[in-house]
Structure formats: structure tokens, C-alpha cells
Chain A
Amino acid sequence: MNFPSKLIEDAVAEFEKLPGIGKKTALRLVLHLLKQDVSSVEQFTHTIEKMRKEIRFCKNCHNISDQEICSICANPKRDSSLVCVVETIRDVIAIESTNQYNGLYHVLGGVISPMEGVGPDDLKIESLVQRCASGKVREVIMALNPTIEGDTTIFYISKKLHGLPVKITSIARGVSFGGELEYVDDVTLARSIVTRMPYESYLVKQGD
């Protein structure tokens, strides 16, 4: 594509970096912004800049937050003895929208995958162990994607929690192997939270 303006070309290039946006869509968005008042475009860019600069991650669970502690962790009505371990913030949003869960979360920031350069130290595993060691946690619910990497991460964490007085459960696997949590329909997701199961292989290994 040939642009009559370098300014337009640069803006298109920026939009194109966003996931799911191709050159054509990027151009459409840029032309749309061009039609707006300067002030409303300023508000748009300011909102985004503010979001990026001021967003914080909850000290407790690593969820996105406006304060030091996120609104979920700060909510006294929630059961703080229950911790649901998820891969990303998207999973928190997905589980929250089922309205079936009243505990807290722990966002790992990914799963263990050395092939992609992600080892246990690159994830929030140590802080989970500390949360559990504090004695306030009664149960840890593993809600990771049912993939080889997800399974390995669950097993690894359960090894690290060995000896601590916490019960480890895993969400029921109504989700097909190789699937991804964020694409599962609400009903399945809600049910798998409600019918969470003891992480059997963990218990078996604990016995030996």
C-alpha cells in the first residue's frame, strides 16, 4: 500500500501491531480517527496512555489492579482461604463472568514451557508457595489449560506445595485435551469450577 503521508503510514504501522489487525483494518481505523475532533482523539490516546502507565499488578495475586491490592483480594465478602491458580488475567475475567466463584486468584503469568524459554522462575510460583505457607490458604484450585504444559505446571506446583497444609484440587476436565480456557463456553466453565476434583495423581504421588 502506498500512503500519501508519512504520518498516516506510521499510524497504520502502529495499529497493525495489534493482534488480529491487518493493514486494511489498520487503515480504516486511522481514517476514522482522522475524521474525529482533535480533542476526542486526544482523549482516546490519553486514556490508553494512562491505562498503560498507571495500571498496577496486585501484590497478592498478580491480577491487574488500580491499587496495590486488587478489588477481588480487597473484597471482605470473598473467601480468602480459597485460591484459584490461573495462567493469565484473561482466565480471571472468564471465571469471574461465570459468577460461580467466590474465592481469590493467583495469576501465574503463563505455564512452564522451556521450549519457549519459560521456566518456573519466570512465573509467579514462589509467591504462591509463600501465600500458602502463610497459613491463610485452605485450598488451591488448579485452573490451567488441559495441555501438556498446563499439566506439568500443576504437577510442579503440587510438588512445591508438598508438606503445606493445603488441599490441592483441579477443575473438572470437561474441557477437551488441547483446548484453551478462554474459548470454552460459560456453562462448561461454570460447571468445571463447581465440580472441581481432587488432583488425584498428586495424592497418589504424595503417598510414596
Chain B
Amino acid sequence: MYLQQLSITNFRNYPLARLDFSPHWNLFSGDNGSGKTTLLDAIHYLCLGKSYFHHSDLTSVKHDSDFFRIDGSFSDDQVLRMVCVYEAGGKKELQKNGVAYSRIANHVGLIPVVMVTPDDQLLIDEGSDERRRFMDGTISQIDHTYLENLIEYNRVLQQRNSALKHFAERRKTDRALIESYDRKLCDSGEKIFHLRTEYFSRMIPLIRQFHALLSSETEEVSAEYASVCNKENLAVALSASFEKDCITQRTNEGIHRDDFDFFLSKRSLKRFGSQGQKKSFLMSLKFAQYELIKREKNLLPLLLLDDLFDKLDEKRSRNIFRLIADNGFGQVFITDTHCDRVRELISQHPTSFTHYLLPDLKKCD
């Protein structure tokens, strides 16, 4: 599956733009603020129905406009036409071949995508939210039941937390109500736990494999999935923390507190890793994500690489380029501030490509 054509209207800095792409390499070069990341995020919208970043849909509507629209034609055996429209103050709609999805979640997994941006360092440095978001995004694209369970879990969790807040306001607790939520929380929570365990364990050897290719050093990569479910039955844990939950007015146990820890030579990457180590680890992690989705779905995800070469030395850049060229990746989109650097790298790999110069979107052959 690859993106043949993209049209965007009133999306961030673009009033109207139309681009066509190569099934292999596609380059966007231009200064900072010229709209490179915006193009990648538009593609992300078509694949997953939302921005890659924590942006709300509203912030993507071009200033002085009141809607945005993204159109894309994907080519597989047949042409797949995707449209994402958002009206300020209204609902977002995602359409496939002219028919709107009743729920955007139903689309997830049809056009798998992996995005790599300089912001990804948050994945290592920040709290567990970011890492869960990463794993959730990965597994949801592979297994639809995972996403369904996650949506249900989060809804039940929100209800349970609201109930705990009400108890505090009304100075009255109702254990039967909390137990009614616990039952459903355990149900979906345990399914999520099993799928996280399963897919994370399949991902670790892939991370190792890419890390060995990308990093000149020989640190050993290891990773751990930390979850309450590893220690005890979720129902027991929830029941035991009932009093604490009432006091803190939130749910203290559950798979919404899970974390994924990464280690280099048995030392925590988050605490002891250097900038360079973190950067190559992140690349390995993202390539592992790509490879896992590719194997499980038997489909080549779109690969979106934002400002990849910004802080990489030339040797690393060459390594990554070669790895992508030699390892059966599908369609790739790359952005860079220097128009010569990527051109130079690509010229060593004889495949078809497009190259757009931003902000004018002038095509350069």
C-alpha cells in the first residue's frame, strides 16, 4: 500500500496543495517553518484519523479558516480514497471511498504507519504515558481487538474515577458501584495485559537486531514490561486498593499505570543514557515497530521520517539510508532542512523518488 496523491486544504499553513508521490522515496526540503512536518502529519491523519502530535484538530485548521480537508489516494490492488474533514466546532469525519466511518477507530490498522520525529525523545525521557502511547499505537495497528479493549477500559476507568470523585463530594462511598466497574476493568485490562506482554516480547529481539545494525557500540539492549498484572490478579489488586482509591479519588491499580523500561548494558537508558545512545536507541525502537507491524500484518507500513538527519553525523545517516534501502521498507517520506544532503544520500540508491522544495512545493527532478 502506498500513497499516490495527497491534497490538503486549509491545513495549518497550507491554503491548498496537491502532491503526487513515488512508491519509494519522497523528500521534502525547506527551511524551518516551511511546512515539512505539516505534510507528514497530514499523511498521518489519513492513516490513523488523528495528528501524530498532541495537537487538537482545531489547532490544525488554518488561521482565518473554519475547516480543513485532507484527501489521499492510496494504491494497493485497488485504489483506496481516504478523506479526513474537520469543521471547527463540528465533528471530524473520516471517509473511505466516499463512505464515512461511524467510528474512526474502525479505520486503524488498514493503512499502517510509523512516524519518527525529533520529539520522540519524550518516549525515553518523559513519564510512562508516552511509552504506553507508543505501545498502544503499535498493537492497535496490528490487532483490532486490542484497540476495542483499550477504548472500553479507558471509558470504564473514567467512569470509575468520576464515581470516586462523587463519593468524596457526597461524603458517601458505594463499594458495590466500584465493584461493578472492577469487573469490566479486569475483563478488558487482562486482555490488554496479555497482548502487551505478547507483542512487547516479540519486539525486543527486533530492537536488538536494529540496534546492532545502527550502533557501532556493542551495548546489550534489554527491556522490561512492568505491570501490576505481572505481580497479582488485577481483581485482587483493585479490591485491595479500594480505600486508597477513595482517599486519592482515582484508580491506583491497573494497566493504565503500566510502563516499559529500556536498558543498555543493564543500565537504565532513561537515567544513564547519553544523547547519542538515546538517539540510536530510538531509531532501533522505531524500526522494530515497523518490522513488527510489517510481519504481523503482512503489509508494508508507510514510513515518515521527520528531520531525521538533523543531528546525525554523516556515517550514521549513511547507515540508516542503507538500512532502509536494503531491508525491504515500503514507501518512505523524509524531510530535511538542507536540500542537497538527502539528494546526495539518495543518489547512491537507484530507485524512483520525488523531491519537493518547500514552501513553494516546487518539484525538483
Chain A residues engaging chain B, CB cutoff 8 angstroms: 112-115, 117, 119-120, 148-149, 151-153, 155-156, 159-160, 201, 205
Instruction: Name the distance in Å between B249's Cβ and chain A's nearest Cβ.
Output: 11
Task: From the candidates A114, A120, A201, name the one contacting B162 in the complex (CB within 8 A).
Answer: A114
B169-199 interface bits toward A, Cβ cutoff 8 Å, 1 = contact, 0 = none: 0100010110111011000000000000000
The number of inter-chain residue pairs (CB within 8 angstroms) is 45
Known contacts A151-B184, A155-B183; is-contact A115 B176 (Cβ 8 Å): no
Instruction: Name the distance in Å between A3's Cβ and chain B's nearest Cβ.
Output: 25
**Do the beta carbons of A160 and B166 come within 8 Å of each other?**
no
**Do the beta carbons of B180 and A159 come within 8 Å of each other?**
yes
**Do the beta carbons of B176 and A156 come within 8 Å of each other?**
yes
Instruction: Name the distance in Å between B164's Cβ and chain A's nearest Cβ.
Output: 8
Q: Which of A114, A115, A152, A160 has the most CB of B within 10 A?
A: A114
**Do the beta carbons of B152 and A114 come within 8 Å of each other?**
no
Known contacts A119-B166, A148-B184; is-contact A156 B177 (Cβ 8 Å): yes
In whole angstroms, how far apart are the Cα atoms of A205 and B165 in the complex? Answer: 27
Could you list 21 examples of A-B contacts with CB < 8 Å? A113-B159, A114-B159, A114-B160, A114-B162, A114-B165, A114-B166, A115-B158, A115-B162, A119-B166, A120-B174, A148-B152, A148-B155, A148-B156, A151-B184, A152-B159, A155-B183, A156-B176, A156-B180, A159-B180, A201-B183, A205-B183
B241-282 interface bits toward A, Cβ cutoff 8 Å, 1 = contact, 0 = none: 000000000000000000000000000000000000000000
Instruction: Name the distance in Å between B220's Cβ and chain A's nearest Cβ.
Output: 44
In whole angstroms, how far apart are the Cα atoms of A114 and B152 in the complex? Answer: 16
Instruction: Name the distance in Å between A134's Cβ and chain B's nearest Cβ.
Output: 21
Name which residue of chain B comes closest to A160, CB basis. Answer: B176
Name which residue of chain B comes closest to A162, CB basis. Answer: B176
In the assembled complex, B40 has its CB within 8 A of some CB on chain A: no
In whole angstroms, how far apart are the Cα atoms of A119 and B180 in the complex? Answer: 13
**9 other A-B residue contacts (CB within 8 Å) besides A114-B159, A148-B155, A155-B180:** A114-B162, A117-B166, A120-B174, A152-B180, A152-B181, A156-B176, A156-B177, A160-B176, A205-B183
**Do the beta carbons of B163 and A159 come within 8 Å of each other?**
no
**Do the beta carbons of B177 and A112 come within 8 Å of each other?**
yes
Which B residues are in CB contact (< 8 Å) with A148?
152, 155-156, 159, 184
**Do the beta carbons of A119 and B177 come within 8 Å of each other?**
yes
In whole angstroms, how far apart are the Cα atoms of A151 and B177 in the complex? Answer: 12
Q: Is the interface of A mostly helix, strand, loop or mixed?
A: helix
Instruction: Name the distance in Å between A146's Cβ and chain B's nearest Cβ.
Output: 12
In whole angstroms, how far apart are the Cα atoms of A164 and B60 in the complex? Answer: 57
Interface size class of B (residues with CB under 8 A): 10 to 19
Known contacts A115-B158, A119-B177, A160-B176; is-contact A152 B184 (Cβ 8 Å): yes
Which B residues are in CB contact (< 8 Å) with A160?
176
Instruction: Name the distance in Å between A69's Cβ and chain B's nearest Cβ.
Output: 30
6 smallest CB-CB distances across A and B, nearest first, come from A114-B162, A114-B163, A155-B180, A156-B180, A115-B162, A159-B176
Instruction: Name the distance in Å between A151's Cβ and chain B's nearest Cβ.
Output: 7
In whole angstroms, how far apart are the Cα atoms of A114 and B157 in the complex? Answer: 11
Which A residues are in CB contact (< 8 Å) with B180?
112, 152-153, 155-156, 159
Instruction: Name the distance in Å between A195's Cβ and chain B's nearest Cβ.
Output: 24
Which A residues are in CB contact (< 8 Å) with B170?
119
Instruction: Name the distance in Å between B168's Cβ and chain A's nearest Cβ.
Output: 12
In whole angstroms, how far apart are the Cα atoms of A153 and B163 in the complex? Answer: 13
In whole angstroms, how far apart are the Cα atoms of A148 and B179 in the complex? Answer: 14
Which A residues are in CB contact (< 8 Å) with B165?
114
Instruction: Name the distance in Å between A149's Cβ and chain B's nearest Cβ.
Output: 7
Which A residues are in CB contact (< 8 Å) with B176?
156, 159-160
In whole angstroms, how far apart are the Cα atoms of A113 and B166 in the complex? Answer: 11
Name which residue of chain B comes closest to A158, CB basis. Answer: B180
Which B residues are in CB contact (< 8 Å) with A112?
159, 177, 180
Instruction: Name the distance in Å between A47's Cβ and chain B's nearest Cβ.
Output: 37
Which A residues are in CB contact (< 8 Å) with B163?
114, 119
Instruction: Name the distance in Å between A61's Cβ and chain B's nearest Cβ.
Output: 23
Instruction: Name the distance in Å between A128's Cβ and chain B's nearest Cβ.
Output: 14
**Do the beta carbons of B158 and A159 come within 8 Å of each other?**
no
Which A residues are in CB contact (< 8 Å) with B174?
119-120
In whole angstroms, how far apart are the Cα atoms of A135 and B242 in the complex? Answer: 34
In whole angstroms, how far apart are the Cα atoms of A201 and B180 in the complex? Answer: 11
In whole angstroms, how far apart are the Cα atoms of A120 and B178 in the complex? Answer: 11
In whole angstroms, how far apart are the Cα atoms of A76 and B227 in the complex? Answer: 58
Which A residues are in CB contact (< 8 Å) with B179?
159
Which B residues are in CB contact (< 8 Å) with A117?
166
In whole angstroms, how far apart are the Cα atoms of A24 and B152 in the complex? Answer: 39
In whole angstroms, how far apart are the Cα atoms of A151 and B184 in the complex? Answer: 9
In whole angstroms, how far apart are the Cα atoms of A147 and B24 in the complex? Answer: 45
**Do the beta carbons of A115 and B159 come within 8 Å of each other?**
yes
Instruction: Name the distance in Å between A196's Cβ and chain B's nearest Cβ.
Output: 21
In whole angstroms, how far apart are the Cα atoms of A205 and B184 in the complex? Answer: 13
Which B residues are in CB contact (< 8 Å) with A201?
183
Which A residues are in CB contact (< 8 Å) with B184?
148, 151-152
Which A residues are in CB contact (< 8 Å) with B155?
148
Which A residues are in CB contact (< 8 Å) with B159?
112-115, 148-149, 152
In whole angstroms, how far apart are the Cα atoms of A84 and B109 in the complex? Answer: 41
